Chains A and B, each alone.
Chain A
């Protein structure tokens, strides 16, 4: 099949730390002063291909170079080196909205943006009602868009972008602000576009959506390609990788978690809503002890889903930290249903600087006699009227 997008050895460098010089003063005040201009690579030697008609996902953490990549594909940023080849017309949809002018009304912005995207005036006129209806802003056609909610703003921008007939759509994080109803509408539309043989490059943190809609996914980290392939495999790889390097650190000491019952005996399996005592054992370096510390834990289901977290600050308890010691957190009845639960623990200061953070410190298995389904247990009674 024909390729819609071919990217070869694409690299983009930015200067780090210093705002580029923009006034005479900065150019001339000290021309001999060598400014320390460290370069940093937002996108680093990236090569990939997207086939025509493919729904291609790009995932990675914030700052991994996803948006820079899309901006280069859209022709807004110039690559430092490397090649981009795109077959067909591109319509970008970047960073929450096309370039709307806040002082113009929705109507005026539709015409402005439509023509920026290369639509003829007659075409925009013809599709105007459809655009407004898709965006669900019928009542606010003559309102300045600066008074729009972020959801309305994005809906309108998206509605215009999809009307500009293109072969390749670049979509960056649009679903973050839309409500469920709109998201569903977008996905129906994506399916429709795909049927028409359009190519879609899709950046999102919504891994569920990526897994569901993308044919292939690329996972990038620090601008480098880590993995590319079937969406399920790549998303899983990302989840595991991303968790592993989440915030784990041991620079300020060591930490361990024991799961105990109320008699302080170790347990790794509980039946029904039993009590659990979470004992966090720590060892702190002197520099950590000088700070105002908070200790806490989080619970994860199947290593992937964050379901609960608390700490001594949230519980409003002052902990007297020693060089070595432990703190017990007691959960009177553990409400989660059958499954495996992982515990992370951390010690940080009130500003969020982590001294110790470790994941997967302990595993708890829950078995239940009842057959309640889902995540959390609730007591249910059935009432019947005669």
Chain B
């Protein structure tokens, strides 16, 4: 098969994913928008009553944080289910299985782009410092994240077939992760308010760092520094590490995936 055919197949699978997910719902794919927006409304209402007002640009920060967190969560959950969801096809036809995972991860990316539209609307009413550098930097970070997620899902999608618990484990994991990620509070709060060792440990949360960097790039239009235990580190280093890890996990993941994918066929 030529790579051109892969492209067609990838597009068809992404289309199918969308149709299946939103086909029989009245609001259709508007659900993509409703979910993060509803979370935003609740968190904003509750949280601003406590202290939200003193955070600069709280509304846009909160919204973008939720959107980015949703993106990472969906990327991993969708990608992990990439093989299992297509069992009916995988057991009948031989085609490059990686495309099944790829199309599922791509769903998360498409959802992100749709959600960024609400963000843009929001940003019109809230003063945001746009800059081209920040804008580009944002996408560099997102692409790094999606590459990493894809590589990670090459492992997870195979493991899920042998170990269905992963589904529940990851759902729980993301539920907990949401609270230790600076989405509705500021990065400094992790160390400052929570304090002590626990604060220090949870401030190492890489998802938090990633969201923080992406948020700074889009809202403040700058390539910010991240603060790890009192030391300022250029976010460029974080992103460099992200890319290196992403390529490593994709390369090793592909070897693992291709060696295992036929063996798990009888476990579907």
Contact = CB atoms under 8 A, between A and B. Distances in A.
Interface in B5-58: 5, 8-9, 11-13, 15-16, 19-20, 23-24
Tell me whether chain A's interface is mostly helix, strand or loop, or mixed.
Answer: loop
B5 A115 contact: yes
A74 interface: yes
Contact of A120 (B5, B86, B164, B265): B5
Contacts of A20: 162, 266-267
Tell me whether chain B's interface is mostly helix, strand or loop, or mixed.
Answer: helix
A25 B267 CA distance: 17
Interface in B123-178: 162-165
Contact of A118 (B5, B24, B164, B263): B5
Interface in A82-135: 90, 92, 94-95, 97-101, 103-104, 108, 111-113, 115-121
A77 interface: yes
A247 to B, nearest CB: 30
A77 B164 contact: no
Nearest to B93: A116
A374 B266 CA distance: 48
- Residue among B20, B24, B92 with most chain A CB within 10 A: B92
Given A22-B163, A76-B90, A103 B23 contact: yes
Contacts of B93: 74, 76, 92, 98-99, 113, 116-117
B92 A76 contact: yes
A94 B265 contact: no
Nearest to A144: B23
Contacts of A120: 4-5, 8
A181 interface: no
Which interface class (under 10, 10 to 19, 20 to 34, 35 or more) fits A?
35 or more
Interface residues of B, number: 32
A61 B20 CA distance: 38
A308 interface: no
Given A103-B19, A112-B12, A98 B163 contact: no
Given A94-B92, A98-B92, A111 B164 contact: no
Given A75-B94, A92-B93, A101 B266 contact: no
A32 interface: no
A20 B5 CA distance: 35
Contacts of B263: 78
Contacts of B89: 98-99, 101, 116
A104 B11 CA distance: 15
A99 B165 contact: no
A62 interface: no
Interface in B225-268: 262-263, 265-267
B5 A99 contact: no
Interface string A1-45: 000000000000010000011111101000000000000000000
A24 B4 contact: no
B19 A108 contact: yes
Contacts of B88: 99-101
B121 interface: no
B164 A108 contact: no
A268 to B, nearest CB: 53
A203 to B, nearest CB: 14
Interface in B177-230: none
B94 A103 contact: no
B9 A116 contact: yes
Nearest to A12: B266
Contact of A95 (B12, B13, B92): B92
Interface of B: 1, 4-5, 8-9, 11-13, 15-16, 19-20, 23-24, 86, 88-95, 162-165, 262-263, 265-267
Pick the 5 closest A-B CB pairs, nearest first. Answer: A99-B89, A78-B262, A75-B94, A115-B9, A99-B92
Interface of A: 14, 20-25, 27, 74-78, 90, 92, 94-95, 97-101, 103-104, 108, 111-113, 115-121
Given A76-B265, A121-B8, A121-B11, 11 more contacts: A22-B267, A74-B94, A77-B262, A77-B266, A99-B90, A104-B20, A108-B15, A113-B93, A115-B9, A116-B12, A118-B5
22 contacts: A22-B164, A74-B93, A76-B92, A76-B94, A76-B265, A78-B262, A94-B92, A97-B92, A99-B89, A99-B92, A101-B88, A103-B19, A104-B19, A104-B20, A112-B13, A115-B12, A116-B89, A116-B95, A117-B93, A118-B9, A120-B4, A121-B12
